[in-house]
Structure 1
C-alpha cells in the first residue's frame, strides 16, 4: 500500500518532487566534487613526490663550495640516507626565448640542469623520468600553462656571442619548483648540451639535497645542518614546504569549493523545509482524513519518510555520479602540474562519506519536520484545510489613514509583517544566495587587485628590481642604487636586502631566519598587529613565523648578529604567502656573509613612461628582474586567479538557479495558501494587476532586505571565512577589495531581475482562479 501511495504521490506532485530532487542533487554534486578535489590534490601531490623521490631537505647555495666536505659531513651523520649535489646553470631571462619575446620581463629565475642521478627526479607528463637527447629541452610545465607551448616548439638561447636552439621534447613536473609561487624554474637539457653551456654560462647555483632514513627526524636534522659550518648562502627548504607550495593554489580553490558546498547544503536544507511545508499545506486535508480513519502519526510519517528517503537516495546517487564530470573542471590544473594519482579506495570512499552525510542530514531533518504531524488535529485539518501556522500578527495598518503608499504596496507591507514566520526561510535563502555571489566576487577582486601584493610581504611600488646572486652582485647593487638616486624620473625608492640570520629556538640551538632589512617606510606593509620596526632593536615577523615560534607583539627573539646573541622585540606581525610565509623585517644591518637577494623598489614621476623606464633598467642591469606590480602578480598568481574566476561564474549560476527555483516554489505555495484571500480581493474590486503588484512587491521587499543583510555578512563574516582558508597559507587577515558596482549594483540587480521575472511568471496562474468557487471553499 505504501509503495502504491508513494508512486501516486510522486506522479501527482511532479513539480515539487522534481524541485526537491534538484536541491538534493545539486548539494550532492558539489559536496562530492569538493571532496574529490581534496582527495585528488593530496593524492596527486603524494604521488608526484613519491615518483620524483623528492628530497627531504634542500640547501640552496650560490657561490663556490667544497663537495668533499659536504659528502664527509653527510657520511658522518647517521640521519642521512642519501646526499646529492645538483649543479644549476643560471640563465639570464633576456637570453632565453620561449616565444618571439625573451623572458627578460619574467620574475622567474631560470636554470639549466640535467636529470638527477639518485633522487629529486624531474618527471614528464606521464610521470616518468625525463630523458632528453642532444639538441632537445624539457620545459617546466609552468610555461606550457602560461604560453600554451607544445612538444616540437623551439626554445632559443642567445647570449650575443653564443647561440643555440633546442626543440621541446617534454614538459617537466618538478616537485621542488612546480608552482608559480616558486620563482625558480629548472629546464632539463642533455649531458652534452650541459657540458657545452658550462663554458658559456659562468653563474652557478647548487642544490645540496638530502634524503633521510626517517622523515620524522627532519627537525633534528635541520637543526644539525643549520648549526654546521657547511655552505648556507641561500634559502633552506624542506619536504613540508614543498608540499605546502605545491598545494597552495589548488588548495585555495578547493577550500572555496568546500565553502560554497557547505553554504549550498544549508540552502538545500532550508529549501527542503520549504518543499515539505508546501507539500504539507497541499495535503493538509488528506492528512486529516488519514488520521480520521485511524492511521497513527507514525504510519503517516513513515509514508512521507518513504518518499523523502527514496528521493534523497536517488538524488544523492545521481549527484555522486555527476560529480565525476563536474570535478574535472577544477582538477585540470592538478592533472597538468602534478599528474593523476593512481585510483585508491580513498577516491571513492571520501566522496561517498560526503554523500552519506548529505543523505543522513536530509533524512534526519525530514524526520524533525514531520514531527509536526503529531500536533495536527483531524477535525481541524478537515474543516480548515490549512495549517494556519503563519499566525497573523495583531498589528494592523489602516488603509484610509495611509497617505504615502498605494493600497497594493500597503497590503504587501502588512502581509510581510503579519506573516514573518512564513517568509523568514525565503529571506534566508535570498540572503545566502547574495552571499555566495558576493563573497567569491570580492575574493576574486581582492586577489586580482594590486593591493594583494601586501599579502606577499611586499610593499606597493611601481617597479620592483630583483638582483639575483652573481659573482659581482655587490658592485652591481651599488651601481643600481647610484643610478636610481640620480635618475630624475624616479620619485621615490627603497633598497631592501634579504639575508640569513641564526635565531635561537626552544631547544637551545639555532634555526635560520630570512630577514629583510633596509628602509621599510617608503613602501610600507599593512600589519595585522603592531607596526613596522622603528629602532635597531625591533623586528617584525610574518604571521607563519610568529605562529610557529609562539610569539606575539612585545615578545623577544634572540638572533646571532656579528657572532653575538642579541635580543630583539617584536614590533609587528604581517602577512606573507611567499617563501612558505617564513620571513621577517628589521632595520639593522644585513648579514654580509649570507646575502640571499637584493631588491630595489621605486615609484616613477610619470606613469606614462613606466614601460620605457623598465626597459632602460632591464638593459642596463641585466640579468636583473625588472617587473611592474601587475606583471609580478600575474606571473605569480595568474593561474589561481583564472580558476577563481571560474568559481565566481559557478557561484553566480548556482545562486541565480536557486533563487529562481525557490521563488517559483514559494509563489506556488503562497498562491495555493492565499486562494481565498485572492478571491476576496478580486470580489471587492481589485484588478489582476493590483493583486500581482501586491505579491511582487512582497517578494521584492523580502529580497531587498535579504540582499542588504547578505551583503553585510559577505563583507564581515565572508572576510572571516576567507581569512580562515588563507590562514594556513600565511594570510589570516584578508580584507576584501570591493568593486562597488559589482557588489552593490550588478549582483543585487541580477537577483532582482531573476526573482521579478520568476514571480511574474508564477503570478500568471492567478488569472485561472474562480472567485466564487475559491470563496466557497
Structure 2
C-alpha cells in the first residue's frame, strides 16, 4: 500500500502543471453542468413559488361592455367551485410614460402601453401585489401610484420619482410611492404595464378619456387542466362563447422562462463538451504515461508490484484530483447561478423575497456523476497497465508487437521517399510533430472546434438579438420604420392625418393595426356534429392596409388580403390540425365567419397563439370599426426616419406619439442582450483560457517526448526560434481546421438544436443575423489562443542546451 501511495504522490509532484490542468477541466465541467441544472430548476421553481405565493391567476380576462356584461361574467365565475376569482378592476389604457426626476426619460418608456388601474383595497384573492420598494399599504395615497418592477428596474424608476401621463387634452403627474411585483404583467421584455392609481385620482384624471371603463379579472383554478371544461359550461350557460380578450398562463409565463432556458441549454452543451474533453485528456495522459514509462513499469512489475496496484496508483491520483476540484466547482456554481437568475428574473425580486436557490441535492448529484465518470475513465485507460509484460518492457521499452511494427515502419521509410521531401524544413518538422502524435492532434482539433463553436454561437445570439430590426418580421413583429400611438382620439382626425401622410413624398406605405377577440375552430365533420379539436379563444390582429407592406411575413403561404381570408400562428395550426388552403370557422366579436387559411406564421410575442385578418372581415358586421392601437409607416429611405419622427411629434404633439421602430426594439431587447452577455462572456473566457492551457500542456508533453530529436536539430545548426516556429505552425494548422469545423457547428448545428427548444414559444425557425466578419474574427481568436499556448510551451527548447536535450 505504501508503494501505491508513494507512486501516486510522485506522479502528482512530477506533473504539477498537467495535473492542475486536468483538475481545472473537471472543475469547469462540474461548474457548467451544476450551474445549468440549478438555473433551469430554479427558474421554474422561483416563478412557480412567486405565482403560488401571490395566488397568481391562470387566466386574465379583459372585458368591455360591447360583447359581454362584465358584471354577469364576474358573477358566473364567482359561483363556480374550484375557481378563485379576483375583483372586477376598472381600467383605462394610456400610451406612454414620461419620467421627470432623475435621468432623462427613455424613449422606450414613453412607447409602452399602460393600463391605468382603479386600485381597490388590498389584499387580493388573486394576483396579490408584492412590494419590492416603498411602504406597503392597502392602496396608493392620492397623488401616488404603484409601478411594476418589470419597468421600474429596466428604466431605473425608484420610489419618489415623478411620472407624467397624457389623458385627453391634458397631462397629469403622479409620484411613485411603491414598486410592486405584478405577475401577469411583470415579465421580462415588457411591452405594457399596469399602473395602480388611487381611486380619487382615477376618477379625476381619466374622466377626459373617451369611452367607458374596461375591466380586468383574474381566474385561478384549483386544477388548471380543467379550464376547457369550465369554458364549455360558460358557453352553455351564457348562450355564447367568450368573445373578449383572454390571456392564459402559458402567455404570462413565457418570457419569465425563455432566457434562462436558452442559457441553461448552452451551459449543458458546454458542460458535456468540457467533461468529454477532460475525459479525453485523462485518457491521453494515462496512455502517454504508460507508453513513456513502459520500461519503468516493467521493472516495477518485475519487482513484485501487481497490475491491480498499478491501476490503483492512477485511480488514487485522479480520485484525489477529482475530489479536490469537484467540490469548488459545486460551490462556485451556486454563486454563478445566483448571478444569472438575479439578472434574468430581477422583476421577481423583493426585499422580503431575495433569490434563494434550491436543488442542492441535484447539484450534488451532478458532482457525484462527474466523479463516477472520471473514475470509470481512469480505470478504463489505466487497465492498459495489465498488458505490460516485464521482460518485453525491459528489453524493448514497449511490447514486442509494437517493436516489430516500428521496425517495419522504419524499414518502409528507407525504401520510400517521403512526400514532404520537397517541402520547407519548418513545415516538415511541424507536420511530423502533428502526424506522429495523432491522439494529441485529435484532442487539440476538438478543443479548437469547441472553442470556435462557443464563441461563434454566443456572438450570433447576441448579434441577432441586438440586430432584431433586420429580422423582426421573422420573430412575428412588423418591420416598419415608424410606429405611432394615438394618445387623444378626441382631437385626432384620422382622415386629415391619412391625407397628410400619404401626400408626403417620403412615405412609402401606412398600415393601421387593431385587435379583436375571436374564436377559431375546425369545421364539423360531414358525418358528425362533433368538432375534431377544441375551439381556441385568441387575439385576432386586424389590419387596415397591407400586412406585406407593413412588413409582416409568413413561414408558409401569404398574409390575408380579402375579407374571407386568415393567416394563423403555427401553434394554432398545430392545435386545429390545419394548413394553408383549409377552412376554419371563426367567431369574430360574436359573428360567425368561414375563412380560408392563406398563410401560417411564427410569433414569439404571443407564442404564435394568434391570427391575422383584414379590417374588411370585421366591417362585415361592424362597418364603423375604428379601434386601432398602432399605426405603422414604411419610408422610401430609412435615413429619413429621425426627421419624420420629429416632425410628427411636433405637428401632432397633442394627439400622437411617434417612435422609430429601432428605438422600440432597442428598449424591448436590451434586457435580453444584458442577460446573455454575462454568461456568454464568462463561458467564452473560460474556454479560451482552457484551450491555451491544454494546448500548452499537450505541446509540452510532445516536446518532452521529442527532446532528443530537437537536441539533434539544434546541434546541427537549426536555431531554437525556427524549431519553435515549426512546432507552433503545426498547432496553428490543427487549430485552423478545428476553428473552421467549429464555425460550421456554431452557425448551423447549435442554432438548430437551440431552435428546437423555442418551438414551445412559437418559433419554428430561429431568426439569425450572421455577421461573417465577426464570426471569422472570433474563430481567429481560437487559432491565436492555440498558437500562444504552443509558443509558450516550446520555450523549453530555447532555454535548454542541445547536449541536455540529447541526454534527455
TM-score (norm 1): 0.89
Q: In structure 1, the residue corresponding to 2:359 is in which secondary structure? A: helix
Distance 1:108 1:73 in 2: 33
Q: Which residue of 1 aligns with 2:93?
A: 90
Counterpart contact for 2:284–2:440, Cα < 8 Å: no
Partner residue, 1:573? 600
Which one of 200, 221, 224 corresponds to residue 215 of structure 1? 224
User: 1:580, 1:729 within 8 Å by CA — same for their partners in 2?
Assistant: yes
Compared CA separation, residues 415 and 528, structure 1 to 2 (3 A)? farther
Deviation string 1:246-283 (CA, Å, 9 cap, x unpaired) is: 22334333333333333333333333334434544554
For 1:262, the equivalent position in structure 2 comes to: 272
Question: Matches of residues 483-502 of structure 1 in structure 2 within 5 Å?
Answer: 483-502=500-519
Match of 1:441 among 459, 462, 485: 459
Q: Is 440-449 or 73-82 further displaced after alignment?
A: 73-82
Cα distance change of structure 1 residues 614 and 706 upon mapping to structure 2, 3 Å threshold: same
Matches within 5 A, 1:487-636: 487-504=504-521, 506=531, 510-518=535-543, 519-533=546-560, 539-553=566-580, 555-560=582-587, 563-564=591-592, 566=594, 568-569=596-597, 571-586=598-613, 589-592=616-619, 597-618=628-649, 620=652, 626-636=658-668
Q: CA deviation at 1:663?
A: 0.9
Instruction: Indicate the residue corresponding to 2:781 in structure 1.
Output: 750
Q: Which segment is superposed worse, 293-302 or 667-676?
A: 293-302
Q: C-alpha separation between the residues in 2 aligned to 1:189 and 1:528?
A: 43
Pairing of 1:18-33 with structure 2 (within 5 A): 18-33=20-35
Return 5+ residue gaps in structure 1 as ranges.
Answer: none
> In structure 2, what is the Cα distance between the partners aligned to 1:365 and 1:527?
50
Per-residue deviation at 1:351?
Answer: 1.6
Task: Tell me by how many angstroms 1:70 deviates.
Answer: 2.0
Counterpart of 2:303 in structure 1 is 293
Aligned 8 A contact 1:435 1:713 in 2: yes
What does residue 205 of structure 1 align with? Answer: 214
In structure 2, the CA distance between the partners of 1:622 and 1:685, relative to structure 1 (3 Å rule), is same
Specify the SS of the correspondent of 1:148: coil
1:8-39: CA deviation from partner (whole Å, max 9, x where unpaired): 43233221221111111111122222222222
Is the alpha carbon distance of 1:429 and 1:401 closer, same or farther for their aligned partners in structure 2, counting shifts above 3 Å? Answer: closer
Q: Summarize deviations over 1:550-575 as a string: whole Å, max 9, x none.
A: 44455553334684452534x44322
Deviation at residue 378 of structure 1 after TM alignment: 3.2
Asked if the contact 2:58–2:218 (Cα under 8 Å) also holds between the matched residues in 1, the reply is yes
292-301 vs 421-430, greater mean Cα deviation = 292-301
Residue 120 in structure 1 maps to residue 127 in structure 2: yes
CA 343–292 in structure 1, closer or farther in 2 if over 3 Å, else same? farther
What are the ranges of 5 or more consecutive residues in structure 2 without an aligned counterpart? Answer: 523-530
Q: Which residue of 1 aligns with 2:374?
A: 362
1:699 aligns with 2:731: yes
In structure 1, the partner of 2:12 is 10
Identify the residue that residue 719 of structure 1 maps to in structure 2. Answer: 751
What is the Cα deviation at residue 245 of structure 1? 3.0
What is the match of residue 241 of structure 1?
251
**Matched residue SS, 1:461:** coil
CA distance in 2, matches of 1:370, 1:434: 32
The SS at the match of 1:119 is: coil
Shift of 1:173: 1.1
Comparing 44-53 with 487-496, which one deviates more in the overlay?
Answer: 487-496
Pick one of 43, 52, 69 that aligns with 2:45.
43
The 3 A distance-change label for structure 1 pair 526 and 471 is closer
CA 1:427–1:531 in structure 2 vs 1: closer, same or farther (change >3 Å)?
A: farther
Q: Name the structure 2 match of 1:107.
A: 111
Structure-2 separation of matches of 1:598 and 1:590: 18
Aligned length: 772
Structure 1 residue corresponding to 2:343, chosen from 333, 342, 345 = 333
State the Cα distance separating 1:178 from its structure 2 match: 0.8
Asked whether the equivalents of residues 320 and 352 of structure 1 are also in contact (C-alpha less than 8 Å), the reply is yes
**Aligned residue number for residue 527 of structure 2:** none
Residues 695-715 of structure 1 show CA distances to partners (whole Å, capped at 9, x for unaligned) of: 111111101111111111211
Q: Is the 8 A contact 1:112 1:188 kept in 2?
A: yes
Q: Deviations over 1:194-248 (max 9, x none)?
A: 3433445556332132233432212323444577567966531122321223223
- In the TM superposition, residue 490 of structure 1 has moved relative to its aligned partner by 0.5
| Cα distance in 2 for residues equivalent to 1:199 and 1:510 | 38
On the 8 A contact 1:41/1:250 being kept in 2, the answer is yes
- TM superposition shift of 1:5: 3.5
CA gap 1:729/1:149 in 2 versus in 1, 3 angstroms: same
Cα distance in 1, alignment partners of residues 559 and 171 from structure 2: 48
The answer as to whether partners of 2:501 and 2:507 remain within 8 angstroms in 1 is yes
Structure 1 contact 490–605 (Cα < 8 Å) conserved: yes
1:131-189, Cα deviation, whole Å (9 max, x unpaired): 53333322222333223233232334465976654433321211011124442211223
